[in-house]
Copies of this chain bind each other. A is one copy, B any other.
Amino acid sequence: MTKYVYVFGADSTEGSAEMVDLLGGKGANLADMARLGIPVPPGFTITTEVCRHFYAAGRRYPEDLQGQVVEALEKVGRATGRTFGSPENPLLVSIRSGARRSMPGMMETVLNVGLTEQTLAGLVSQTQNERFAYDAYRRLLMMYSDVVMEKGAGIEPQGKGIRKLLDERLDRVKHRRGYAADTELTADELKGLVVEFKDLIRKTLGQAFPEDPWEQLWGAIGAVFASWMGKRAVEYRRIERIPDTWGTAVNVQAMVFGNMGEDCATGVAFTRNPATGENAFYGEYLVNAQGEDVVAGIRTPAPLNVHSRNDQSRHLPTLEERMPAAYRELCAIRDKLELRYRDMQDIEFTIERGKLYMLQCRTGKRTGVAAARMAIEMLDEGLIDQRTAVLRVAPVQLVELLLPMLDPASEAKAEPIARGLPAGPGGAVGRAVFTAQDAVEWSARGEKVILVREETSPEDVDGMHKAQAVLTSKGGMTSHAALVARGWGKCCIVGCGEIEITRTGKSFRTQRGNTVKEGDWISLNGTTGRVYRGALPLVPAAPEGNPYYVRLMELADHFRTLKVRTNADTPKDAAQAIRFGAEGIGLFRTEHMFYGEGSEEPLFLLRKMIMSTTAEERRKALEELFPYVKADVKATLDVMDGRPVTIRLLDPPLHEFVPHDREKLARLAEELGVKMGALRKRAEALRENNPMLGHRGVRLGITYPEITEMQLRAILEATAELLASGKRVQPEVMIPITGTAAELAHQMAIFEQVRAEIRTRLGLSELPCLFGTMIEIPRAALRAGDIAATAEFFSFGTNDLTQMTFGFSRDDVGSFLPDYLRGGILPADPFQTLDQEGVGELIAIGIARGRAARADLKVGICGEHGGDPESVMFCHRVGMDYVSCSPFRVPIARLAAAHAALREE
C-alpha cells in the first residue's frame, strides 16, 4: 500500500526535512521542526504524489487515501485531546498548500475546518468564549464559500464573487453600528451575520454551506489541489519555470488561535535582519490576532524586541517585554533553527493562551546588502563554508550595492504616477526636461535634471550623460536609451507607455491623469520601473566601503575560472571598471569617441569623410581624423596598463552619423563647401530600410578599405608608441559583423600590410596585436571553422546574434514583446537573458567549430548578456574564456562566474 499521508507532531513524526519533493517545503519543514522538539501543532501532510494522481485520474483520489486521512486525523486528535467532528470537544484544522518550491500567495488556504452548527457548541465550551467561536465560524463561512464552493468548483461569478458579497454584509453591519474593527462586533451580531451569510451563500451559489465536518475537510483538500492548476499558479510556474508535474502537497494541521484573548498573539520573524543582515532577531507581532491580521495591515504590528523597532512601532511594547517567557522560548527556537538550516529563517508563530506554536519556517528572502553580510558573518561563525557563502548571494542582488537608490522607506509611502521597464537600475531624482539640449543647458547651470523623451538617438547622448536619469515612453530593454544608460550605470526607465509627451513637447501626461511640466521634480526607481512625482531622498552606494561585499568578491574571484572584462569606450569608464575588478576590455567601440564629451572636431571630420563622394576626398578626411582616433585608442590602452583591450572597428551604418536636423546639415554643407542639395542627396542615399541589416561593420571595411586602414594604423601606431615608452599594452583588433571567412581574410590582409609597414618604418622586431572577429551573424557561427583559420579570437556579439536568430529588431520589439512575455510564449526577454536553446546552440556550434580549427582560439562574449548572471553561467558551461559587460555589471559577472564554477563541481 502506497503511503500518502505523513503525520507530524503527534505521537510520532513520519516525514523529514529531506522529503521536500514528496511533502513540499512547508510539510517537510513542519516535520523537521517536530523532530527537533520544536512545538508545532500536530497535523499531517498529503503528498505531492496524490496531487499528480488527482490530475492524472480526472480529479479523483487514490483509493487508499481516505483511510489514511481518517487514521492520521485520529492521531492528531489524540495528540490534542480533541476529536474531529465531536460536538463536545471538536478538533478544528487548517488546510494549506505546500509545493516543492515556495509559490507565495498563488494557492489556497482554508482555516477552522470542522466547525459546524453542531461542533460550534463544543468550541464555545472549550474556549468559554462564545464571541470567539462565532467569529471563527463566520471566518470559515467566508473562506470556505469563496475558496471551496466558488473557486474550487470552477464557478465563474456573475457580477461580484461570494467573498465580496459577504464582505459587504460585514461592512454594512459595522457601518450601522459605527465600528472601525471586526473585533468590535459582539457575539450576537456575529450570530446574526452567520445566519445572513448562510442564506446568501445558498442563494448565490445554489447550494447550502456543508454542515458535515468531513464534507468540509474533503472539500477544502480538493480546493487546495485544484488551486495547483489555477490561472495564477500556472502563470507563476511558467515564469519561474516550475514544472506542472511537481504538484503540491496539502497540509492538514490542528488549529491554534492567537485571537482568544490578551494572552494570545501571532507574529512573523526573521532570524536575522533581512534588510541589513545584522545578526539580531527581527520581527513583529500582534496581540489577540490571527495571522491574516498581521498581513492585512489594519493594526500596526508591535516590534519583537528593541532591534525590531521602527518609526511606526517605536512606541509599542515589545514581545520581549510583554510575554518574556514566550519570547525566550522563541529565541531558543531561533538558535536551533539557524544551527539546523545554517541560513536565515523566516518563521510564523502563534501564542495561544501563553503557549508558543511554530506554524512555518522557511529560508527567508533578504536584500543584497543583507545577503552579503549574512554570508560573510555565517562563514565567520563557522555555520557555512566558503563555497556556500559565495552561493548565498545571488549575483543580481549586488545591483543594490552598486547604485544609489531611492530611500526605500520614503518610496514605500509614495504613490507611483507611472510604471515602465526597469532599464537602468538604481534611483534618481531631478527636474524633468524634454530635449537633450535642455538637459545640457539646465545641468550647466547646476540643475539636476531627468531627460524625458519618446526615444533617444545618438544625438541625445550628451544630454543623457548630463542628466541624472533618462525616462522614455517608447523602446524596450535594449533600446538606445537602455543600452547607453546601463553602460554608464545610469538610472533609466524605458517603454513607459503610461506617459504621453504632450504636443508642446514640454510636459507629459500620465494615464492616471497626472501632468508633469518642464522643471517639475520627479523621482525614478530604475530597479522597479516606478516613476514618482516630487523629489524622494536618495541613498548612496559605496560598495568598496562595505567589508562584507569586499570579502565576498575576494571569495568569488578565488573560485571562478571565467575571466571578466568590461565594455568601455573611455579612459574614465576603463578606470571605473578596473575599480570594479575588470581584467581587461572586451569591447572598445571606436565610434563612441564621436559622441563623447570632448571636442566636436572628430564628429565633424567623420561627417566630412562620410559625405565624400570619391576615395580621394575620403582618404583626405580620414587623414585628418587619424590623430584623433589614435589619441583616443592610446589613452585607453594606457589606462588599461597591459590588460587586454579588444578594439572593435567602426560598426554602425554611416547614416547614423549624418545630422538629422536642418540646421546642422546646413552648417555641415557650408563648412564642407558643398551645396545643401548635394549633401541631402548623399544623406538620402545612405538611408536604409533596415539599417540593422545594412551597410555596416566589416561591410564598410570592404567597400571603403581606407577606413579600415586608417583605424588599424591608429591602433598599431598607438601600440608601438606606448611600447617604445616602456608601457605594457595588449591590443586586440576586432572586426564586426563578419559573416564569411572571405570578409575576414580581406581585412586581415590590410592588417598585415599596415603592421608590416609600421614595423619596417619604426624598425620594430615585433608589434604584437591579436586579430579576431565578432561572431554575431548566424552564418558566422555556422562557418566558425573557416573563420577561425584567420581569427585568433571570437567575441560573441549576442545582441545582434539574438536579433538575427530570432528575427527581432531590438528597437522595435516593444510592440509585441510584452504580449509574448504575458502569454508565456517567451520565458524572458531574449535581449536580457540569453536564449540558450536557440542563440545558445549557435554559440555552442561556433565555439566547437572554431576550436576544432584553432585549438587555442580565445573566446568571449561582449553583448549585454555578459552582465546577466544566468547568461554568464551559460558562458562558463560552453567553455568561454571571458565575458565582457558594462563597468557597473562587472562585480555581478564576477559573482555569477563563481556560482557557475561552484555549481559545476
Smallest CB separation, A783 vs chain B (Å):
6
Chain B residues near A806 (CB-CB < 8 A): 739, 777, 779
Contact of A694 (CB < 8 Å), options: B812, B824, B841:
B812
Given A692-B689, A779-B835, A779-B838, A702 and B807 touching (CB < 8 A)?
no
Contact of A779 (CB < 8 Å), options: B703, B743, B776, B839:
B839
Stretch from A359-367, A506-514, A797-805 forming part of the interface with B: A797-805
Check if A114 is an interface residue, CB within 8 A of chain B: no
Smallest CB separation, A495 vs chain B (Å):
13
Check if A674 is an interface residue, CB within 8 A of chain B: no
Check if A504 is an interface residue, CB within 8 A of chain B: no
Contact of A807 (CB < 8 Å), options: B689, B693, B742, B823:
B693
Check if A778 is an interface residue, CB within 8 A of chain B: yes
Contact A689 B812 (CB under 8 A): yes
Contact of A693 (CB < 8 Å), options: B739, B782, B808:
B808
* Copies of this chain, count: 2
Check if A842 is an interface residue, CB within 8 A of chain B: yes
Chain B residues near A837 (CB-CB < 8 A): 782-783
Check if A280 is an interface residue, CB within 8 A of chain B: no
> A803-831: contact bitstring with B at CB < 8 Å (1 yes, 0 no)?
11111110110011001100111100000
* Interchain CA distance A695-B820 in the complex, whole Å: 12
Check if A688 is an interface residue, CB within 8 A of chain B: yes
Contact B815 A783 (CB under 8 A): no
Check if A699 is an interface residue, CB within 8 A of chain B: yes
Contact B809 A690 (CB under 8 A): yes
> A472-498: contact bitstring with B at CB < 8 Å (1 yes, 0 no)?
000000000000000000000000000
Check if A139 is an interface residue, CB within 8 A of chain B: no
Contact B693 A742 (CB under 8 A): no
Smallest CB separation, A704 vs chain B (Å):
9
Given A740-B825, A835-B779, A695 and B805 touching (CB < 8 A)?
no
Smallest CB separation, A789 vs chain B (Å):
14
Chain B residues near A842 (CB-CB < 8 A): 778, 782
Contact A737 B807 (CB under 8 A): yes
Contact A692 B691 (CB under 8 A): no
Tell me the A530-582 residues at the B interface (CB within 8 Å): none
Contact of A783 (CB < 8 Å), options: B695, B800, B804, B838:
B838
Contact of A809 (CB < 8 Å), options: B693, B803, B826, B841:
B693
> A759-789: contact bitstring with B at CB < 8 Å (1 yes, 0 no)?
0000000000000000011110011000000
Number of A residues with CB within 8 Å of any CB on chain B: 47
Contact A692 B695 (CB under 8 A): no
Contact A805 B804 (CB under 8 A): yes
Check if A746 is an interface residue, CB within 8 A of chain B: yes
Chain B residues near A693 (CB-CB < 8 A): 690, 692-693, 803-804, 807-809, 812
> A824-857: contact bitstring with B at CB < 8 Å (1 yes, 0 no)?
1110000000010111011000000000000000
Q: Which B residue sits closest to A475, measured CB to CB? A: B689
Smallest CB separation, A827 vs chain B (Å):
9
Q: Which B residue sits closest to A653, measured CB to CB? A: B812
Contact B703 A816 (CB under 8 A): yes
Smallest CB separation, A93 vs chain B (Å):
40
Contact of A778 (CB < 8 Å), options: B695, B776, B778:
B778
Contact B816 A742 (CB under 8 A): no
Chain B residues near A779 (CB-CB < 8 A): 805-807, 835, 838-839
Smallest CB separation, A244 vs chain B (Å):
15
Q: Which B residue sits closest to A826, measured CB to CB? A: B740
Chain B residues near A695 (CB-CB < 8 A): 812, 815-816
Smallest CB separation, A618 vs chain B (Å):
15
* Interchain CA distance A694-B814 in the complex, whole Å: 9
Q: Which B residue sits closest to A839, measured CB to CB? A: B779
* Interchain CA distance A824-B779 in the complex, whole Å: 18
Contact of A782 (CB < 8 Å), options: B777, B812, B841:
B841
Chain B residues near A838 (CB-CB < 8 A): 739-740, 778-779, 782-783
Smallest CB separation, A728 vs chain B (Å):
36
> A727-765: contact bitstring with B at CB < 8 Å (1 yes, 0 no)?
000000000010110110010000000000000000000
Tell me the A376-404 residues at the B interface (CB within 8 Å): none
Chain B residues near A812 (CB-CB < 8 A): 688-691, 693-695
Smallest CB separation, A524 vs chain B (Å):
23
* Interchain CA distance A835-B776 in the complex, whole Å: 18
Q: Which B residue sits closest to A737, measured CB to CB? A: B807
* Interchain CA distance A837-B784 in the complex, whole Å: 11
A739, A779, A800 pick with most chain B CB within 10 angstroms: A779
Q: Can you name 7 extra interface pairs (CB under 8 A) apart from A692-B807, A695-B815?
A: A688-B811, A689-B812, A691-B812, A695-B812, A702-B819, A702-B823, A740-B826
Which 7 pairs between the two chains have the least Cβ-Cβ distance?
Answer: A693-B809, A690-B809, A779-B838, A689-B811, A688-B812, A742-B825, A777-B807
**25 A-B contact pairs sorted by A residue (CB < 8 Å):** A688-B812, A689-B809, A690-B691, A690-B692, A690-B811, A692-B693, A692-B809, A693-B803, A693-B807, A694-B815, A695-B816, A702-B823, A737-B807, A739-B807, A740-B825, A743-B825, A776-B807, A778-B778, A778-B804, A778-B807, A778-B842, A779-B806, A779-B835, A782-B805, A782-B841
